[in-house]
Amino acid sequence: MNRVNSRNDFGHDDSTIHIVMAITIIIIIIIYEWLVCCGRQLLKSGRRVECKCHGVSGSCALKTCWLAMPQLGHVGNELGRLYRDAQPVRMRQDQSRDRLVVATGKTSL
């Protein structure tokens, strides 16, 4: 059966629901990419130089160094701290462009 402009149980057009679902998926993808970027930045900033000496009886005739990644627990703790310290923001139109500003009062997202 071909239904044109059919309505679901909630009284919304099927096409409207598809648009809302598509927008929701796009927003989830943007948030995911942002979180991945934050994690990469934390990993990059937390790298440290580790070295190992090679030689007879630890004489360090040859020294090999590399960049070591931080421990996963430290990265997780830092991400959690950043999340807890984050402030809610909202969009505000300012001089014909949108800006993110810190939400004040009881405004929630």
pLDDT in tens, 7-56: 555 566 677 778 888 888 998 898 888 888 888 888 888 899 999 998 88
Q: What residue segments make up the domains of the chain, in order of their start?
A: 14-88
Rounded to an integer, what distance in angstroms lies between the CA atom of residue 42 and that of residue 35?
Answer: 11
Residue with tokens 């979180």, as numbered in its chain: 35
pLDDT in tens, 83-109: 888 888 777 777 777 777 787 755 444
| pTM recorded for the entire structure | 0.49
What pLDDT does residue 105 have?
58
What pLDDT does residue 109 have?
44
4: helix, strand or coil = coil
What pLDDT does residue 107 have?
46
Strand partners, 66: 50
What pLDDT does residue 108 have?
45
What pLDDT does residue 50 have?
95
